[in-house]
Structures are given as C-alpha cells and as structure tokens.
Structure 1
Amino acid sequence: METIIQASYMVAAVLFILGLKQMSSPVTARRGIVWAGAGMVLATLVTFMVPEIIDSDQAITNIALIVIAIVIGGGYAWYSGKNVAMTDMPQMIAMYNGMGGGAAAAIAAVEILKARTEASHDLTGSTSISDILGPDVAILGILGAIIGTISFSGSIIAWAKLDGRLNRSKLLPKQHLVNAVLAIITVGFAASIYFSADLNTIIIFYALALVLGVFITVPVGGADMPVIISLFNALTGLAVGFEGYVLGNAAMIIAGIVVGSAGSLLTQLMAVAMNRSVANVFFAGVGTDAAAATGDGSEGVMKEIQAQDAGILMSFASQVVIIPGYGMAVAQAQHKIWELTQLLTEKGVTVKFAIHPVAGRMPGHMNVLLAEAGVPYDMIYDMEDVNADFKNTTVALVIGANDVVNPSAKNDTSSPLYGMPILDAIEADNVIVIKRGRGAGFSGVENPLFFADNTKMLFGDGQKAASELIQAVKEL
C-alpha cells in the first residue's frame, strides 16, 4: 500500500510540474491548468489510502472530516471560480494565497500541539517539541508556521485593499522599526517553542505572526500590489513544502517547491521590471498617503476630446498602440476594445497592445482580460518589445492605465515612482486617455502625461467611451 501511495504522489508531482510548464505559454495554459488540477485530484484521492487515516480507530471520523472539507472547499471554489467577475480576479487570487498559507499554518499547529501533548506526559517537564518531532522536523514545522501565518494574514489585508474594504493607509510612526521589533519577538517565541512545549507560548507565537503579516502588508502601496500577491504566493508554496516534509508527504513537498520557486522568480522579475528590490517594495510605502504627498505636483490643464474626434484621429492613423490598465477591468471594456481594434484593422490601421508587467492588480491581469476578449496573442506586446515603437505611433490609446505611463517615473527624482520603467506613451504623436475622472492613480501620484501638449482626455466609463469610439469609427 505504501508503494502505491508514494508512486501516486510522484505521479501527482509530475503532473504539477508539467502543468506549470504548460502555463508558461498562453496557447497551452488551459491544458496546463487541467494537468495540474488532475494532479491535485490524484493527490487528494490518495489521502484516503494513508494508513494513519484508514487504519485508525477514528477511521470513519477521519474520512468524514476529509469528505466534508472537500465538499465545502471544493464547492465554494467551484462556485466562486464560475461566478467571479474578471474585475475581482486579483481579490480571489489573494484570498486563495491566504487560504493556502493558512492551511499550512494549521497543519503546523496540529503537529506542534500533538507533540506538546506527547511531551506533557513527561512529568519532569524536560521534554521539548524538538525532542518529540526531531530537530529537522521541528525547525521546518515552525518555519512553515511563521511563513504560512504571515502569508495568511498578509493576503487577507491584500484582499481587503484590492476590494476597497481597506482604504489607503498611512505609515505608522516608526512603522519599519515596529515591524523589525515584532519580527524579532516572533522569531524569539518560535525558538522558545522549539525548546519547550508551553501552550501559552504557542498561542502568543501564532498571534504575533498574524499581526506581523498585517503590519507588513498595510504600508504597501497600490502600485506594488501585483508584486505582493506573487510574493505571498511564493511564501505559501514554501510553507506547504515545509509542512509536506513534516508530514512526509512527497506531493506536498514537490508542489510547495514548484509553487515557491515559481512565485519567487515571478516576484523577482516583476520587481526588476519596476527597477526596485523586493525589500524596497515593503519599505518604500509607495501608494500610502505619505508617499503620494511627495513629488512635484503637475501643473496645467487637461484638454478634453470628444469621441467623434478621437474616432477620426484613430481611423486615419498609421499605427495605434492600446495601453490597458485596471480601469479597463473595472469597466469590463475589454470586449469593446477588441471590437474597436477589429474596426481599425479593417481600415488598414496597425494596432498593438502594450502590456506593462505590473499593470492591473495581479501578475498577468491584462493578458487574462485580453485573452478572454479574444485578442490574438501576436497583437500583445511586452513593455520592452513595444517601447521603441511609440516614436512611430500616431495614437497611443490609454484606457484605465495611470502609474504605468507616468513620465515622472523617469523624470522626477522626488516621485515615489522614480526608477520604475514605464510605457513611453508620451512619445507618441497623439495620446488619448480614457479616464473616469481627474484623480491620480492607485499609487496616489499625479501623472504629468495627462497635462502634456499631445494628450487629450476622453472622460467617462471605459466601456461607454469605447462604445462611442466604435460608433464614431463606424460612421466614417
């Protein structure tokens, strides 16, 4: 039986890896999701064969609890996956990250409490958690508890910020010092758990880790949310891998390693794309009120344009580059933008989509929206591949993007965005910005592009504005 279980876990692990490989291309991504899902189903089914579960005196209770958990978790995941709006996808990803981290932390708690119960049989009180679990298992179990708990509470805060339930926050006085002290204290309690078996110490340790996750995430600005989401994804994978070692579960170990390494690489790539370090994302506070107040304020007047005039300008352009942002997702305008693209293409206009690595609220957010609308992959360009084309572009159409086209990131050393690579929309002959209002972006930093001589503002809801552009182009 043990051979079958381990072989099944290895097959599941292979499916995880192959699935991740398939996800590296938009063409094969759907297949990759199916393969990875099949691996997870296999790993879950094999759980029913584990001797500790089926050979226990509580076998019926164990199986019943597993089935209930699968029904509740699987049912909710199926319902939310089928019904979630594309605008809420970042929130769902953040929540799923948090649940994964929370599950890993819960596994650690169970194993630590089981070891504590066994240690309590020693009336001398000299037996520690590490004596019961072994040094390696105890260390990895406690590390998984810290990382998983931080990922859980941090992801919940990220979800709340993305969902608008938590407004932009100010940095607390000495925020980073407080975080550092809290982290040191948490590690101290973690060490105490290793050398003892005190219940109060365990409770305080988990409480501190929860608070640390909150304190770490609250100061992180809106412009950095995609990086934070991918980082918590990596932390969750790491925690799952550690707890897999604690349980001796090969599938959990490999899945955790795959998710942790992929998430870490994605986090690093996105940070590099912003010309910042991961540490700077946590400590700079871009998007907080304090950060948003810094930098030179833009002066000038936003010049408006009517949809009919914008339609004429785009219809007779040689090349149009469309730059989507989170505002497009909020307005659910991706389908209208694709319809507009088709009309312009029929008129002989070259149309490209320019995607910034951190556009939206999660990694690949804009790519997902455009793929859903049916935009061909060969029309979608990464920032480094399209930036040189702006000088030869007649019209740059910005819909719902703000910080990723902000010239102050290149020109204003006092700006919180300074150093972040941007899409050089300002270099196009004409820039048309579809925007609901005159406010700043999610980072809270004013955008000089909106006041530039070659920029015209088309105010209104993204979908409504796109519909008006479609009508204007059709009338020509």
Structure 2
Amino acid sequence: MSSGMVTAAYIVAAILFIFSLAGLSRHESSKRGNILGITGMAIALIATILGPDAHNIGWIIIAMVIGGVIGVRLANKVAMTEMPELVAILHSFVGLAAVLVGFNSFIAHEVFSDNIMENIHLTEIFLGIFIGAVTFTGSIVAYGKLCGKIASKPLMLPNRHKLNLLALLISFILLVIFVKTTTIGLQVFVLLMMTIIALAFGWHLVSSIGGADMPVVVSMLNSYSGWAAAAAGFMLSNDLLIVTGALVGSSGAILSYIMCKAMNRSFISVIAGGFGTDGILVDDEHSQGNYRETTADEVAELLKNSHSVIITPGYGMAVVQAQYPIHDITLKLREKGINVRFAIHPVAGRLPGHMNVLLAEAKVPYDIVLELDEINEDFASTDTVLVIGANDTVNPAAQDDPKSPIAGMPVLEVWKAKNVIVFKRSMNTGYAGVQNPLFFKENTQMLFGDAKVSVEAILRAL
C-alpha cells in the first residue's frame, strides 16, 4: 500500500473516530458510535500493517493476536461492575506503551543534521516518556483504589504540593540537560532519572486524591492516556496516532472539567493532586443519632401509596447487580400510574456515566433517567425516594458541614422528600469515609441487607 493510500485511510479512520465520539455522547446513538470506532480502528490497523514503513509484519500479527485474545477474554470475564477497574488498567497500558515507544525512539533514532529538528525530536521523546510514566503509575494507583487493594483515603504527605512542584522543576531541568548535551551516556542517565521521578509523580498525584472523587480521576487519566498516545504519535511520526491521542486527551479533559464544575471543585486542583482532601474524615463507628429500620413489606406498602417515586442509585447497586429487579419494580409502579424517575449524580459509581450504563443495560427507559440539575428541585414534592447503594452523593453534610471533606459538592437533596428509604448493608461510611447525617433524619428509614435481595423482596410484595 502506497503512502498516499495510507494517508487516505488515516483520514477516513480519523473521521470515523470523530463520528464515534459524537455517537457515544448520546444514549440513542451509542451503539452506532461504538461500531464506527471499531471500524475506524480496523481501517487504521490494516493501513499501518500494509503501509510502506511496516517491517517484521509477522511479529506485529503475533502481538495483535495475543492482544486480541486477552481483550476477548477480558470482555467475557469482566463484569459491568468491574468496568472502572478495567478502564483504569487499560489507561496504564497506554502509559506504559508511551514509555516503551519513547525509549525505543531514543535508541533507534538517527541524529538530524538540522540542530533545531534534533532538539524538537528529543523534546518529543522526553515529554512522551514523562506523560506515559505519570499515566502508568497514576492508573495503577487508581486501579488499586477502585478494586479495594489500596485504601481509598487520600495520602496526606507533608508539603505535598511543594513536592509535586519540585518534581516538575527537576524534570524541566533534566529536559534542558537532555536536549543540550551530546553525550549519549548522560542522555540515558537523564532519561532514567526523569522516568523514576515521573513514576513517583504519577503515584503521588493519584494517591493524594480522595476516594469520593475517583470518577473525576478516571476521566483525568483518560485525558492523560490520550496525550501519551499523541506524544507517541509525534515520536513515531504517525499522524493518526497524534489525531486520535488529541481527541482522547481533549475529550477526557473536557469531561473532567464538566465533572469538576458539577462537583464545585477546581479543575487545577485535580491536575495538581490532593483533590477532595480538605476536611476531617469521620470515624466509621461515629454515630450522629438514632436511626429507624424498616422491612421490604413496609417499603412495598409505602410505594403502593405513593404518587411519585424517585430512585437514586449508587455504586452499591452496581456491586450486587440490582438494576434488573429495580427495572421490574419500575414497570410495576408505572403500571399502577405512579410517576417513577431516576436521579443520577455526576459522580455516582466509579467512572463517568456508570449508573447510566447499568440502567441502560437493564432496559430502563432513558427518558425517566435524569441528571442532578434536572431533578434536584423535584425532591420536595416527591412522596418516596429509594436510595439504593448511594451514600456520599446524597450526604447533606456537603451543604451543612463546612469542615466535611465533601463540603461544597452538589448532592441529590433526597432528604427533602416525604419519605426516604436507604438500602445499605450496614451503617459504615461511604467511599469518601464520611458519615452521612441522612441516615438519622426523621423521614429516613434504613433497609439493611443485600440491596438486590431487598429489591427482589419488595418486587414480590408488590
């Protein structure tokens, strides 16, 4: 395949990727967007393999087969509840790939006769490895936090922001040395030193972020992985990789910014680390009063006598896969003429849009799934609210307690409803480690146990 054909194929693939992003932005067209993305990637792979610059095609095909087998296995094995962890670990692969491509580009590159072009190429290598290393360790930490292997509480090192600034300053000095020197040994040493600093920097950035803000971290790492891919594209002189990386990087950054605005957080604080760590964490056993328990039969009776019901799902619903019986309850209540809607917080779950995906999977009508700003004013006129697996996103402390780690974060004001039923396994705190005063309000009742079992019991009683 000629270079002209490859370029044409890359243009088609880039256009398909753009259409894919547009399709994925809406529930109705998400499947078509996914297909367009797959088609674009297939065209890009075929054009790259058959292009004039391709060598050792046998090794490339072997690598693709191995990667494809692993991908199919993961797709069949990983449950929807584990999707955030999968996304995080895939981001780490992108970062690691950028690091390896960077070192390979340095080892294999021929010195340019033009000094300016040589400096530009060395800068591309340095930045590509730096961004890739930060993405790699940051994503590994995010994966550990999401799957519970690393504590969700933020790492609070003394002078942590100064440490981050020092790491960036040293990296910049190393960049200048790397570009200016002509000694290969010194360049290798500088690259290795920078890589170690970048790995530590990425680890510290994400470790310093509180558990309640992990959805923002996932979208932020998505952006980092895009810029890492774009950097790899510059190193490989691959236009499509640059375009694709820029698309992913910019879309991830925009998503992070939108989510930060929805949470009343600073976008800069996400990039700098230490996001969502202000305030004092409350002990799990700390109590703020007495709570009332209820039963599935009582909840079913309450729902029958309600005119309007709002269901507020959270990560707990995802863990037990309760979205299916919730869908059945929704159908039954709507058949009785009861107005049923879903209230989705921007950071419910462990990645952006997590609850929307689960509800769509259970065939919940999308027109009754509303975002925080669309439904928050309706709680005051609602008879019953079912809080299923949500905690931090319905915590009134965000509004009432300025010392809370989640202070200032917009939350679903479920406590304004006439009746609130909270589905929980125990009285332990949520992912942010903050006690929830909602549990002790007069209009709140607790339904303890497995959320799916409880919802199925309510369904039978209906």
- TM interval, short-chain normalised: over 0.9
Distance in structure 2 (CA, Å) of the matches to 1:283 and 1:79: 34
Range with greater deviation from structure 2 (304-313 or 176-185): 176-185
Q: Does residue 324 of structure 2 align to residue 335 of structure 1?
A: yes
Query: Which residue number in structure 2 is paired with residue 101 of structure 1?
Result: 95
Could you tell me which amino acid in structure 2 is paired with residue 84 of structure 1? V
1:70 aligns with one of 57, 60, 64: 64
Give the deviation of 1:182 after TM superposition: 2.2
Q: Which residue of 2 aligns with 1:238?
A: 227
Where does 1:232-271 land on structure 2 (aligned, <5 Å)? 232-271=221-260
Who is 2:313 aligned against? 324
Q: How does 1:422-437 map to 2 (within 5 A)?
A: 422-437=411-426
Please give the alpha-carbon distance, in whole angstroms, between the structure 1 residues aligned to 2:172 and 2:458.
57
Question: How far, CA to CA, are the matches of 2:307 and 2:30 in structure 1?
Answer: 33
The residue that corresponds to 2:191 in the other structure is 202
What amino acid sits opposite 2:314 in the alignment?
G
Instruction: Quote the offset at 1:298 in angstroms.
Output: 5.5
Shift in CA distance, 422/301, structure 1 to aligned 2, threshold 3 Å: same
Residue in 2 aligned with 1:178?
163
**Do structure 1's residue 400 and structure 2's residue 400 form an aligned pair?**
no
**Structure 1 residue 305: deviation in Å?**
0.6
Q: State the AA in 2 paired with 1:208.
A: I
Assess if the C-alpha contact under 8 Å between 2:282 and 2:435 holds in 1. no
Aligned to 1:46: 47
Report how far residue 50 of structure 1 moved. 2.9
1:145-196: CA deviation from partner (whole Å, max 9, x where unpaired): 2112111110011001101111235412333322222232233223322223
Deviations 1:287-329 (A, max 9, x none): 69x74149xx661112111111111001110000000000000
Range moving further from structure 2, 3-12 or 172-181:
172-181
Q: 2:406 matched to which residue of 1?
A: 417
Q: Deviations over 1:239-271 (max 9, x none)?
A: 212221232212111111111111111000000
Q: Which residue of 2 aligns with 1:81?
A: 75
Q: Deviation at 1:236?
A: 1.1
Q: 1:469 aligns with which of 451, 458, 461?
A: 458
Give the conservation status (yes or no) of the 8 Å contact 2:379–2:416. yes
1:285: Cα distance to partner? 4.9
Query: How far, CA to CA, are the matches of 1:133 and 1:82 in structure 2?
Result: 46
Asked if 2 retains the 8 angstrom alpha-carbon contact of 1:223 and 1:287, the reply is no
Q: CA deviation digits over 1:338-368, x for unaligned, max 9?
A: 1111111112111000000000000000001
Deviation per CA, 1:215-254, whole angstroms, max 9, x where unpaired?
1111211111110110111111112122212322121111
Q: Which amino acid is 1:302 matched to?
A: Y
Please list the CA deviations of residues 110-145 of structure 1 after superposition, one character each: whole Å capped at 9, or x if unmatched: 112223xx56xxxxxxx99x9495333332332222
* Counterpart for residue 371 of structure 2: 382
How far apart, in 2, do the equivalents of 1:354 and 1:396 lie?
A: 10
Shift of 1:468: 1.1
The number of equivalent residue pairs is 454
For 1:244 and 1:48, the matched residues in 2 are separated by: 16
Contact 1:186 1:205 in 2 (8 A): yes
1:159 lines up with 2:153 in the alignment: no
Work out the percentage of aligned pairs sharing the same amino acid.
40
Q: Paired residue for 1:448?
A: 437
Which of 101, 105, 113 lines up with 2:107 in the alignment? Answer: 113
Q: Which moved more, 1:270-279 or 1:130-139?
A: 130-139
Q: Is the 8 A contact 2:205 2:274 kept in 1?
A: no
Q: Is the 8 A contact 2:398 2:407 kept in 1?
A: yes
Determine the C-alpha separation between the residues in 2 that align with 1:417 and 1:95. Answer: 27
Q: Gapped runs of 5+ residues in structure 1?
A: 54-58, 120-126
1:107 and 1:291 map into 2 onto residues whose CA distance is 43
**TM-aligned CA deviation for residue 46 of structure 1:** 1.2
1:286 aligns with 2:276: yes
What is residue 358 of structure 1 aligned with on the other side? 347
Contact in 2 for aligned 1:286/1:292 (Cα 8 Å): no
In 1, the alpha carbon distance for the partners of 2:277 and 2:205 equals 14
Distance in 1 of aligned mates of 2:179 and 2:442: 64
TM-score (norm 1): 0.91
Spell out the pairing of 1:220-235 with structure 2 (5 A cutoff). 220-235=209-224
Whole-angstrom CA distance in 1 between matches of 2:144 and 2:318? 18
Question: Which piece of structure 1 moves more, 189-198 or 21-30?
Answer: 189-198
CA contact (8 A) 1:328 1:334 kept: yes
Q: CA RMSD in A?
A: 2.0
Deviation at 1:42, TM superposition (A): 1.0
